[in-house]
Structure 1
Amino acid sequence: MKFQKISATLALASLLAAATSCKDFYDVNKNPLAPTSTTLNTLLPVVQVSMASDLGDNVGGLSQYTMALMQQLYNTRSIGNFTQTGNSFGGQWADLYSSVLVNNELVITQGTREQQWVYVGIAQLQKAYVYSQMVDLWGDVPYSQALKGVENISPRFDKDEEIYNGSTDGSVQSLFSLIDEGIANLSKPSSNADLTRADLIYNGSPDKWRRFGNTLKLKLYNQIRLTRDVTPNVTPLLTASSDLLQEGEDFELAYRNTTNPDNRNPGYVFDFSTNPENRIGRYFYEGMLARNDPRMPYYFFNQVAKTAPTTTQQDYVNGPFVTVRPGSTGQYTASASTASFQTVQGLYPIGGRYDEGKGGKTGTKEVAGKAEAPQRLLTYYARKYTEAELQLTVLNNPVAAREAFVEALNASFRKVNAIATADGSPVMTATQITGYLNRLDNGTAVPVANSGPLNRYDKAATNDEKLEVIMYEKYVASYGYGVDVFTDFRRTKHPRIRVSQQVANASRGLLPDDGGTIGNGVFPRRLLYPSSDLLLNPNSPKVNKAEDAPIFWEH
């Protein structure tokens, strides 16, 4: 798929709300800068580029923060050590409204006026997706009264559960109803000749968007399965599997290796600079290492060569792998941030380098990557992991769950190989993949915990133990899109992760680490609202809920 970056000039020319530097949503809603109309083929790509950036794995994206919470990454910002304030996520909150949702709403209203129904359907599905992600992170958010500009400058914060399911009085449309409307509009007669270039995700294909919409419904029903019986909702979706995302139809945004304009993966721009943004989580790496996971050279790039002398005076070193631990009490914590040594994100998540073991300094031509890895948002393999979870927990069918799990595993490996092939890097062999999937326990040399996922699944005594295996593998496969990883963990308490002892809580899947770190606060169940929104909007909640107050679907 060809990707044309939306330049700053174009973004300004088609400005439909405040720029991304806005401090809060309330100001955007109070003083919209939207022109009365613009072209739909200009609006749609602005929405899609901003959506991927705001939710994705980059310095300003919410995935980078949530990956830090889930101990996949660590960076110099404090969220990985469980500290957040009312200013932590104001930029992302504002941009999701101003650059994504406001522009997207204009696609809906203008597309309806012009009877460009495929545009309308696409925008409705994007709206449902973005709002579901915001509810999953913040809980109650402005929804039914938002995006109206001067018609309502103080929108109420609708309840999280009502945004998902709708309100009894009909004032809040459910996300499921919104998705159904979007799917219906995709089938209406419409002249959308320019959609092939304007739609950066599916090139204007109504069929692919319809399958995305059905898969999104399946995902959301899975997320609320603890609140009600979703069997009648998910059974027809699972039965008509051809109406769900197929392989090669991932909901993602592609990037290209050009710098004028800059079309590169934005995560690459920071982590393959002279001063990388992120380190890799110790226990995330150790889990993959213990299981001999062949994806490691695609996931991580070691700046230290495999044959180099062991690096010293670093917080954590394992051969060429170097990182710092959040809240570390080690004497070399400061030096562990040295840009010349740390292991960084690699090819798979951000289009960096495949690790051949030769090392090299980021920010140099010698280790430059193509920066073309897509920002994954909702994938085929995630669909199959969702099916495995539903078959196990809702339909109580471990055999069907295993079948879906096997396909999820294989699809996740095929996705890594597809990115490697596009990059011109080596691919994993069938022997490597099957060796990982089918690795057997062998006493102390390979304990059951470090055996292959199928062996662990088959030997799990309970469905909850089987779910741990499924969610661990989904956790690893989803590296690069942290929002859903964070949501999955809060919903299921799986996979268990290691955190500072001050934060540990086994009942929530939070196991204590080796005692060498100190945590601040609590492991959050939600992100905090921007302080300015609470201050300026008279219909806001006034104060943030406690950080450990659950989102409705956790009950």
Structure 2
Amino acid sequence: MKVITLIRIASFVSLLFIGSACKEFIDINADPNNPTTPVLELLLPATQVSMTGSLRDVNQGTSILMQQLYTSNTSRNFQDGTDYQQSWNGLYTQVLNDIEIVIREGTKQQRWDYVSIAKLEKAYIYSLMVDLWGDIPFADASKGLTVSDPTFESGATIYDKLFTLIDEALADANKGNFAIQPTTADIIYKGDKAAWIRMANTLKLKLFNQIRLVQADKAKAGIAAILSANAPLIATNAQDFSFRFGTTETPANRHPWHRSEYQASKSYYMSQGFIERLFNTDDPRIRYFFYRQTSNYTVGFTPTGNGYFGRYTGDATASPNDNALKATVGVYPAGGLYDNGPINNLTSANVFITNAGATSAPKVVSNTDGTGAGVFPFMTNAMVKFILAEAALTLGTTGDAKQLFQDGITAHLNSVNTISSTSGNSAPAISAATITAFVANRTSQYDAADAAGKLNAIMTQKYIALYGNGMEAYNDYRRTGLPALPAPIAPLNTFPLRLTYSITELSTNANVSAKADQVQTAQQTTPVFWDK
């Protein structure tokens, strides 16, 4: 990638601040990206910070495509070569390059703990890049500046290599001592070997499930092997593979949604369709996901009467001066405010969304509201349960799909409680009784459905639980077409089956520059290899 030397130094700084990464965890006086002698305990946490920051734009875009957030052009299925350029460039020129340094230097030093973690980060990042972009540079990209025009490899080929890479990382974890010191050198798991082994097996599980429509036998055999071996998976919320943000503005380490929305100007509307999905199905997470700045909104293009003012996907009308009126992000996952105001139009049919104890008045939010101490949920206990439920239902793998469905909902409701009550966030917990009753309610709907309806129930609840991780929701929707999403009001294009490449990559890489326009256009309509 010829742009490496031009943007490399700037990218680390921008990802820390623009990408809302947690710089407070790392005290770096020297530039870890150009070290004279690579210092593993500085470089490894830098990869985790910059990974989180680099995924910001693709997470934002896919959250909009999946109708959980709204911006005008993206919600109309429009994308161009600058939309995800920062993510692409950051992942290649910063994160993956630094990961290769950790692997190379860790191997020299026989620090297999660092090597194992770096290989798992590498496998996770490349799997997401295949999922989002399809064909991407892989082997050549690992060679850094020695290859200026890396070859694009097929997603299917890369997936096969990633299964091997994960197995290598698991083997490395068992070589010598696994003793990351200080433990803050591993922001995510604090040097916990067992946690990284669970992450590795969970990543394999996710990738096997991802290919089930095109390689059903391989998917079933792979999942069965994991389960029959009792390979440890992420099985509790405390074991989630996620990135927790901090509470400070200087240095800036708050959740990116909090940083963009808890100010006078705002980047997004909330998706009216997603709000209504929760409201119309009596889902108690609505008060945690969204915060209303007004109790009533009865003028303009989306009269709601209850303050849940967002925009429908694909709405092309001009935006009025409504930053002080529109609903915004709540305490989960962004570390904003919990909405404890009365809701005007509840009925006796509402069991889980109620006005019990709702005494606060809405307010116009500012950067002093909430903490920003949110979460980026990469792979979670709830996700594992829903994956296993899907596999049991569709592939016949071991496990009770119904019980796993129930466990997935329960796990996510408890995740909402955790973020709502830690790191200075303040929100009442969803009570154990409410969780039990809500899960029973969704289970009754599951029981009443046929096989297709049961899969729809699993994927719908997973979709809701993926709020905050649009990338995985985008993956699931392209794989299964579930849950059904409304068509955009005024689309500019068909629903994109892949994200657009970085225009910088297409214009500078000799392997694709001569046909850059053709390659970019094909991204909109070409399925990723696992998308049947």
Instruction: Give me the TM-score of the superposition, normalised by structure 1.
Output: 0.83
Structure 1 residues 8 and 147: CA distance shift in structure 2, 3 A: farther
Task: Report whether the alignment pairs 1:232 with 2:221.
Answer: yes
Offset at residue 106 of structure 1 (A): 0.7
Task: Report whether the alignment pairs 1:383 with 2:384.
Answer: yes
Structure 1 residues 329 and 123: CA distance shift in structure 2, 3 A: closer
Structure 1 residues 10 and 202: CA distance shift in structure 2, 3 A: closer
User: What is the 5 A alignment of 1:352-501?
Assistant: 352-357=336-341, 358-363=361-366, 365=368, 368-395=369-396, 400-422=400-422, 423-439=425-441, 453-461=442-450, 463-500=451-488
SS of match in other structure, 1:389: helix
- Asked if structure 1 preserves the Cα contact closer than 8 Å seen for 2:288 and 2:332, the reply is yes
Q: Distance in 1 between matches of 2:314 and 2:435?
A: 35
User: What is the 5 A alignment of 1:162-201?
Assistant: 162-165=157-160, 174-190=161-177, 192-201=179-188
Q: Distance in 1 between matches of 2:485 and 2:395?
A: 24
- 1:47-70 deviation line (CA, Å, top 9, x unaligned): 1011112224xxxx3111101001
Partner of 1:347 in structure 2? Answer: 331
Letter of the structure 2 residue corresponding to residue 539 of structure 1: N
Partner of 2:490 in structure 1? Answer: 518
Partner of 1:72 in structure 2? Answer: 68
Letter of the structure 1 residue corresponding to residue 363 of structure 2: G
Match of 1:112 among 107, 116, 137: 107
Query: Greater shift after overlay, 113-122 or 144-153?
Result: 144-153
SS of match in other structure, 1:124: helix
Letter of the structure 2 residue corresponding to residue 425 of structure 1: A
Task: Report whether the alignment pairs 1:313 with 2:300.
Answer: yes
Partner of 2:152 in structure 1? Answer: 157
SS of match in other structure, 2:339: coil
Match of 1:270 among 252, 260, 265: 260
SS of match in other structure, 1:377: strand
Q: Distance in 1 between matches of 2:243 and 2:367?
A: 26
Letter of the structure 2 residue corresponding to residue 93 of structure 1: W
Identity %, equivalent residues: 34
Letter of the structure 1 residue corresponding to residue 22 of structure 2: K
Offset at residue 239 of structure 1 (A): 3.4
SS of match in other structure, 1:522: coil
SS of match in other structure, 2:463: helix
Instruction: Give me the TM-score of the superposition, normalised by structure 2.
Output: 0.87
- Asked if structure 1 preserves the Cα contact closer than 8 Å seen for 2:188 and 2:242, the reply is yes
Q: Distance in 2 between matches of 1:383 and 1:246?
A: 8
Offset at residue 546 of structure 1 (A): 4.1
Q: Distance in 2 between matches of 1:385 and 1:130?
A: 21
- 1:305-346 deviation line (CA, Å, top 9, x unaligned): 3xxx5442243434111112343266xx422x6100010111
Q: Distance in 1 between matches of 2:173 and 2:121?
A: 13
Q: Distance in 2 between matches of 1:527 and 1:64?
A: 12
Letter of the structure 2 residue corresponding to residue 433 of structure 1: I
SS of match in other structure, 1:375: strand
Query: Greater shift after overlay, 368-377 or 470-479?
Result: 368-377
Offset at residue 123 of structure 1 (A): 0.3
Letter of the structure 1 residue corresponding to residue 470 of structure 2: G
- Asked if structure 1 preserves the Cα contact closer than 8 Å seen for 2:287 and 2:340, the reply is yes
Q: Distance in 1 between matches of 2:62 and 2:21?
A: 28
User: What is the 5 A alignment of 1:65-104?
Assistant: 65-76=61-72, 78-104=73-99
Q: Distance in 2 between matches of 1:223 and 1:103?
A: 27
Q: Distance in 2 between matches of 1:200 and 1:4?
A: 11
In structure 2, stretches of 5+ residues that fail to align are 1-19, 342-360
- 1:149-189 deviation line (CA, Å, top 9, x unaligned): 33211110011110002xxxxxxxx1000001111111111
Q: Distance in 2 between matches of 1:294 and 1:433?
A: 9
Q: Distance in 2 between matches of 1:98 and 1:481?
A: 23
SS of match in other structure, 1:322: coil
- Asked if structure 2 preserves the Cα contact closer than 8 Å seen for 1:314 and 1:323, the reply is no
In structure 1, stretches of 5+ residues that fail to align are 17-33, 166-173, 440-452, 501-516
SS of match in other structure, 1:161: helix
Letter of the structure 2 residue corresponding to residue 237 of structure 1: I
- Asked if structure 2 preserves the Cα contact closer than 8 Å seen for 1:255 and 1:264, the reply is yes
Offset at residue 226 of structure 1 (A): 1.1
Offset at residue 521 of structure 1 (A): 0.7
Partner of 1:334 in structure 2? Answer: 319
Offset at residue 281 of structure 1 (A): 1.1
Q: Distance in 2 between matches of 1:241 and 1:407?
A: 18
Offset at residue 253 of structure 1 (A): 1.2
Partner of 1:514 in structure 2? Answer: none
Match of 1:259 among 249, 263, 266: 249
Structure 1 residues 499 and 150: CA distance shift in structure 2, 3 A: same
Match of 2:203 among 186, 202, 216: 216
Partner of 1:63 in structure 2? Answer: 59
Offset at residue 87 of structure 1 (A): 2.0
- 1:260-318 deviation line (CA, Å, top 9, x unaligned): 3222222211111111222111111111111110111100000013xxx5442243434
Q: Distance in 1 between matches of 2:134 and 2:293?
A: 40
Structure 1 residues 226 and 40: CA distance shift in structure 2, 3 A: same
Structure 1 residues 523 and 318: CA distance shift in structure 2, 3 A: farther
Q: Distance in 2 between matches of 1:531 and 1:300?
A: 34
- Asked if structure 2 preserves the Cα contact closer than 8 Å seen for 1:302 and 1:344, the reply is yes
The size of the alignment, in residue pairs, is 484
Q: Distance in 2 between matches of 1:98 and 1:12?
A: 21
- Asked if structure 2 preserves the Cα contact closer than 8 Å seen for 1:142 and 1:158, the reply is yes
Q: Distance in 2 between matches of 1:482 and 1:421?
A: 24
Task: Report whether the alignment pairs 1:298 with 2:288.
Answer: yes
Structure 1 residues 110 and 426: CA distance shift in structure 2, 3 A: same
Letter of the structure 1 residue corresponding to residue 495 of structure 2: F
Q: Distance in 1 between matches of 2:301 and 2:223?
A: 49
Offset at residue 11 of structure 1 (A): 7.1
Match of 1:551 among 513, 528, 531: 528
